[in-house]
Chain A
Amino acid sequence: MTKDLQAVPAIELRGIGKRFPGVIANHDIDITITSGTIHALVGENGAGKSTLMKILYGVQKPDSGTIAVNGHQVSLSSPSDAIAIGVGMVFQHFMLADNFTVLENVVLGAEKIAGIGDDARNRIRQISDDYGFDLDPDDLVEDLGVGERQRVEILKVLYRGAKIIILDEPTAVLVPQEVDALFDNLRELKDQGHTLIFISHKLDEVLSVADDITVIRKGTTVASVKPAEVNARQLAELMVGSVLPSPSTEGSTVTDKVLLEVIDLELDDATGRPELVDIDFAIHAGEILGIAGVEGNGQTELVETIIGMRRQARGTIMLAGEEISEWSTRRRRETGVGYIPEDRHRHGLLLDAPLWENRILGHQTRPPSVKGPFLNPPGAKADTGRIVSAYDVRTPGITTTARALSGGNQQKFIVGREMSSDPILLIASHPTRGVDVGAQAAIWGHIKRARKAGLAVLLISADLDELIGLSDTIKVILRGKLVATFDPQSVTPQQLGSAMTGADAISEERS
């Protein structure tokens, strides 16, 4: 690292402001990012981090303020402008066309560099080898796992010769081992002179990898710190201005009464390939069973089979002593299965319908939503009002459409709805994903209270702290099989992570 480079900051953002209809996403943002460093941005959900990065990448235009890259003031009106001056971005959500090959995904928009043929293919192989990405340019992206896709995203950026790389929550879907591998990559990139901007909600990660940290709260920069100067708790307090809650297990409420029993469950995909193998477990009244696993190892399939959206190839599902294996989703839900889906927009809400109609969704055969074959709007409305106040859903009213609510409030509403008809079993997939700390604590509280009242919970989460903090038992799913069982009292995230990748040996090698 030369002195010159350090003298000219890679990026200077001055007075950046951006408003959306009714929302001030960014205002008076001031950040200086030193060349050749890893710079972390932290902040609550909705604090404006992604918006700021999109501005820096030219996806959105700022309303005010200036951007200087390597000392030159720039005006970015599209991603091409940003790419042209060496800025690349890996988005919060994958930006990959499943039906395209790695090659096509990478060269898209950067065809000038090496065409779209063999030159490009060689170049991709080269980069892949240089960084140990292990990617074949001719693989279809839909055949790749999450970690590989993440690497394709980074490869896309490197291919364009970006010197400044933005990574928006790149670790959200990775297991600890993958995170470690990613961080190795990042450090290597830094050593080669790249500047990295890194966003994460996982503060320990931030502290371990970043050179500088900027904290954003309510759209503006509130602090700039060095990792050595703060600990995670202090950082969190800077972010939210309050104390960080964490799930803490209270006394066990597990009873003898088995509510959900899954016996030798197997599921095949359309081509007959097994997706779930030999799944066996039981959940008792008052018990929370946590399922840990790398995304895409069968969690979704397991949930969908239990809820009845997919039909098992073999095996039995028993609910409160009755066999429900052949029941329709509707019948299962009527019997008292609550469901917090992992993707609330796709599976949990009718975005353009008012809240009170969303109250009916999934409960359209039960009071208070219906009377006989007819809907009961007054009943549904009244109960929606109750949920809104009991679960602190921030909304102007119950006729507001679901789309207008922020993600966290949508999630609180869903939790309230699923708790409302006294379920005996709750299937909760990532119940606090993308929800900010305040709402997170509230949701944990609700789940715990219901457990105390005898609810059985199947909890799927990528947040290992959440799993450890809430569960009575944790099982690990890997390639459609339950491969290990842990006691949350004694397990560490590292142990879980090893089991999740099925590579205790590998992790030992690495460490």
Chain B
Amino acid sequence: MPSDMLRNLELDLDVFSGPFDLLLSLILREELDLLEVQLAEIVIAYLDHLERRERLNLEAATEFLVLIAALLELKSRLMLPGEEVEELDELEPAQAAEELLDRMLRYARYQNAGQWLIERQEAGQQFLLRESGPPAELSKTAEKPRATHDPQLLARAVGGLLKMPPAPDLRHLRNPRVSVADRLTILRDLLRRGRFDFERAVAGQDRMTVAVTLYALLELYKRGEADWEQEVPFAPITVAVGGNAAARAVAS
């Protein structure tokens, strides 16, 4: 469970407003769709919060990193359904770009149409409809019950619900091949040889592997097995053995 500080982190997002731990539990209970949550907004809210508090609580910060990274991983898995990544990966770069371009153009069309609707709605609000019903003395006779519907409508409707949908085709699905455990092993192997550049751990790998490796690294940091540094944003990330590594060696 998150510490008090995280629990009380108040968020005001597009799709949710309230404390962070409520957001978490809503997502875990699948009552809120993670795909609709802008994780960047949460990070910004957290940074604002840190700024106001001045003092950095390292434990809470690590905890936040782990939680937000877990959410990121979950979201990236949701956003990159296996089949589509496969599809794009198998295409030549030029073909993949064409395919992506097609999708973006199709989306741009409806994005623009949506903008038009927003303006149209604005203009449509100038005209108001009368909302009051007719005077009572005229509507007394309203809606006599009479046979207006065909009973077969009910049989058709309920019969339609009995229809079993065709079983979904699962042949194209494969289990995700990247596991946190595997990436942990690779990172620990590298660590045994000393400091290394994060790029080495993920050289030539796809985005999913990079994301899972970063998550594994967070896990190591949390356990005190690894430390990492980055001089400036986008600079190489250097990973080194952490303060707690000795303890781990004893335990194992």
Q: Do A and B bind each other?
A: no
